[in-house]
Amino acid sequence: MSQIVSRFSLICQLNQTRLLSLNSIKTLLLLIKLSKQFVFLCLCISFPTDNLPPAISPRNYHGWNEFDINEEEPLWKKYISQFKDPLILLLLASAVISVLMHQFDDAISITVVLIYIFFGVCACLQEYRSEKSLEELGKLVPPECHCIREGNLEHLLARELVPGDTVCLSVGERVPADLRLFEATDLSVDESSLTGETTPCSKSTSHQPSATNGDIASRSNIAFMGTLVRCGRGIVIGTGENSEFGEVFKMMQAEEAPKTPLQKSMDLLGKQLSLYSFGIIGVIMLVGWLQGKRILDMFTIGVSLAVAAIPEGLPIVVTVTLALGVMRMVKKRAIVKKLPIVETLGCCNVICSDKTGTLTKNEMTVTQLFTSDGLHAEVTGVGYNGAGEVLLDGETIHGFSCPSVSRIVEVGCVCNDSIIRSHTLLGRPTEGALIALAMKMGLESIQQEYVRVEEHPFTSEQKWMSVRCDKAGVYFMKGAYEQVIRFCSSYNSRGTTLSLNHQQRELYQQQISYMGSAGLRVLAFASGSEMGNLTFLGLVGMIDPPRSGVKEAVGTLISSGVAIKMITGDSQETAVSIGGGFELFYFCFYVGPVSLQNIGAVVAMTGDGVNDAVALKAADIGVAMGQTGTDVCKEAADMILVDDDFQTIMSAIEEGKGIYNNIKNFVRFQLSTSIAALTLISLATLMNFPNPLNAMQILWINIIMDGPPAQSLGVEPVDRDVIRKPPRNVRDSIITRSLIIKVLVSALIIVCGTLFVFWREDNVITPRDTTMTFTCFVFFDMFNALSSRSQTRLVHEMGLCSNRTFCYAVLASIMGQLLVIYFPPLQSIFQTESLSIFGEKREHDNSSKVQTLRSLTEQENFYVLCFCLYLCRHSPNRIYLLFGQTCCSW
């Protein structure tokens, strides 16, 4: 205390400017430690008024009691930021070049750009609606308050408060600023808006010399801005950004949400495709120049090839796939606010989960009773609905059939300020558990038989509560065993009062240790006619039971490589016991996502209070509680659990892994088709061969590559075994070695098959020849799409019709191909001819007809060969043996 007094003496010698140079946290800790008299003296140091009104001078130093929100980014800038993806920039550049060079046959690029502009508007609006967390903080500050200035009670705007003002609080009002309490009677504050904890916090006016910069709940003489109170008075010690809410506000402004792994992968893919595209332009121009061709002509060809290599549909597929994932997550009781977050869940390898309400039900339930005479009763049932029984040696206890147990229940029911109405608790969870216990024994109405004449309310300092009733002047007490036992001189033994001895105390202490090792919260009960001469009745053990299915979900995630860390404020013994029930062995009394991210972890973090908002925003995936979470917390989070259930997080991770696999399948299909088409055009150009495909046919292939079959790969159902696979490494590119091999094998089959059919035709290139080559390429691409549905499973394992959208898309593409071949108006556009097994009537001889029949038959046989190759494509030995190469692993 001498150090505090000397510290205060030093402050008194400072001028006001130097006092204000102390940051808000240090000032707050100082005022917590000082007595209320010293606080008055400290905050009433005269300001250099300069003939200003009393409140104006301190406001020049402290500013207004409000949050200074930075100027909001204009909507047009948010829209432009949607196109910073290198892949989108490359796509935009290809569309512009196509227009400038009058290559309108590549209209697919231009069309996709227009479509993505629409999706950009949608994404921009989604982001605009999500960025409201800072505004929600302002809603927690009341607009008006009652303040005492110069001895007069005034009704002021809350923004006008300055340090030194005295604020009067009434029932149900929100605290307008951080207050140091100096007058309070039975004051409790609802700090759930700040901490997320629903249990009211008891407040006092006493100073705390040992206070540290720790838990907010431990600062019992401070009422924080934005919290709800019963009644009391306090002196203003922190306003605006110098309050506890202000600290959260400043950290949220400084915190930037990290890029998602998908965004990083797409950035890398865009850079890789850009590098390959410019490399193709350079090689083509160099070879053409060496062959003596015009530079401008070769530049035109090079640009066309580079544009053909770009998977224009990829941005749309990614957006649509993520949007569909968000819709599926809504059905699983999770609201995802940002599209890329869905995929980020798939590579999450650390989950920091709150215990109360997420892993547990947030419904305190009595499970054990131990009477003072040694009886041990078990309690069944969970929640506040009164369902369950009290069992003693296997027999049900009801009413007063067992006096030793009934007296404990009687005390717990009478010494209680909470009520249960329609299975909903109004009050403290521990008191709700005692009322539910009384309901199970049919004793809930006993509370109405007593009238209180005196009450000692529960406080965090004394850790007990007692009431005196008019019925024979009896006292009822409940609380922590260490506190209750101090008021007891005897104990109840089967209706007889015996003197409390050391042996009995040891017995009770052993029972408390036993209950504590089981994760139970223990309360002691006593009654009597005098407060200092009470009779000890027994102990009750209660627990917040785990949610159903959580243990299985935790086990599945741990086995797949996801570390689960339980965040709790319970004692180490309780935390170990509860976590052991979930097979968890990592417990955190405080943890921040940044420290985990620094070692390469992808962190999902749950939270429900304002003080959690900064951590949720810094985490890779911030998860807010939908039922118990504050509005600020929900706005700062990336995902909201509607039912506060941990199993929903596991479903979200499963969905994220499935979405990434679908995107990877799409990339594989598009790249294999692009490389196949690029190879055909490049070989024809570089080797001076006749072009096997004309411009409109290439356009049709490009449409198929980016159209329905490709888009339908994004809605492939999630593999049932994907949740058991380990999270992917965020440093891995979306184009891996195995994917490259699969892409090259698929492209090689398409190119070889198409060139084989083209080579078997006559030397003179006719529309019929290009039609056969064109049709062969399209059918090969359909088989390619079929094999791209999964990276690990065969077609018959997935089920041919498990993805009906894909079946419809392939059927539509085949119908479109038949129309291109047989519908006369389209024949003229695509320069195709009708194909028939009997050939067409021409001015050729019979040998030409025989050649046509033979070529078509060979083509049909090759289609069958192609189909067989794709069905056995997951057997590397067969594929590489067919191509005469050495077997190697994919």
The span from the CA of 526 to the CA of 507, in Å, is 16
* 164 and 129 belong to one structural domain: no
Angstrom CA distances, 270 to 89, 274, 275, 309, 839, stand at 9, 6, 9, 12, 47
Does pLDDT of 369 surpass 90? yes
| Cβ density class 245-270: b for 16+ within 10 Å, e for less | bbbbbbebeebebbebbbebbbebbb
Among 97, 114, 136, which residue terminates a domain? 136
Count of C-beta atoms within a 10 Å radius of residue 320: 16
* 445 and 380 belong to one structural domain: yes
- DSSP secondary structure of 540-579: EEEE-PBPTTHHHHHHHHHHTT-EEEEE--S-HHHHHHHH
510 domain-assigned: yes
342 domain-assigned: yes
Count of C-beta atoms within a 10 Å radius of residue 888: 9
The span from the CA of 46 to the CA of 34, in Å, is 19
> In this predicted model, what pLDDT tens digit does every residue of 826-870 receive, in sequence order?
888 778 888 765 444 444 444 444 444 344 444 444 444 454 444
* 488 and 513 belong to one structural domain: yes
| pTM listed for this prediction | 0.63
> In this predicted model, what pLDDT tens digit does every residue of 156-175 receive, in sequence order?
887 788 887 888 877 667 78
Return the CATH number at 457. Answer: 3.40.1110.10
Which residue of the set 85, 354, 645, 719 is catalytic?
354
259 domain-assigned: no
Does pLDDT of 147 surpass 50? yes
Does pLDDT of 547 surpass 90? no
- Give the three-class secondary structure for 676: helix
Q: What is the average per-residue pLDDT within 344-369? A: 83
Return the CATH number at 220. Answer: 2.70.150.10
330 domain-assigned: no
Beta bridge partners of 527: 476, 535
766 domain-assigned: yes
Close Cβ partners of 756 (under 8 Å, ≥ 6 residues apart): 862
* 824 and 719 belong to one structural domain: yes
* 356 and 422 belong to one structural domain: no
* 419 and 519 belong to one structural domain: yes
* 350 and 374 belong to one structural domain: no
Q: For residue 322, what are its two tokens?
A: 């993520």
* 699 and 810 belong to one structural domain: yes
What domain range includes position 685? 661-882
If you average pLDDT over every residue of the chain, what do you get? 72
The span from the CA of 198 to the CA of 185, in Å, is 21
Q: Are 852 and 839 in contact (CB under 8 A)?
A: yes
Token pair 């309050």 is found at 243
161 domain-assigned: yes
> In this predicted model, what pLDDT tens digit does every residue of 605-663 receive, in sequence order?
888 776 677 778 888 888 988 877 777 777 778 888 888 888 888 888 888 888 888 88
Q: How many domains are there within the chain?
A: 5
Does pLDDT of 553 surpass 60? yes
Count of C-beta atoms within a 10 Å radius of residue 669: 26
The listed range with the strongest mean pLDDT (9-23, 37-51, 390-404) is: 390-404
Give the residue ranges of DSSP H helices in 369-492.
403-414, 429-440, 481-484
Active site residue 354: yes
* 585 and 728 belong to one structural domain: no
Q: Are 649 and 547 in contact (CB under 8 A)?
A: no
Return the CATH number at 687. Answer: 1.20.1110.10
Angstrom CA distances, 331 to 256, 463, 648, stand at 30, 44, 10
Pairing outcome for strands 563-567 and 350-354: parallel
Q: What is the average per-residue pLDDT within 737-743? A: 85
The span from the CA of 567 to the CA of 562, in Å, is 16
The span from the CA of 868 to the CA of 573, in Å, is 62
Q: What is the average per-residue pLDDT within 759-765? A: 60
pLDDT of residue 478: 95
478 domain-assigned: yes
* 597 and 496 belong to one structural domain: no
Beta bridge partners of 155: 146
> In this predicted model, what pLDDT tens digit does every residue of 429-467 receive, in sequence order?
889 999 999 999 999 888 888 888 888 888 777 889 999
> In this predicted model, what pLDDT tens digit does every residue of 84-137 receive, in sequence order?
655 556 556 666 666 666 655 444 444 445 544 554 555 555 455 444 444 554
* 44 and 83 belong to one structural domain: no
* 242 and 375 belong to one structural domain: no
Beta bridge partners of 181: 234
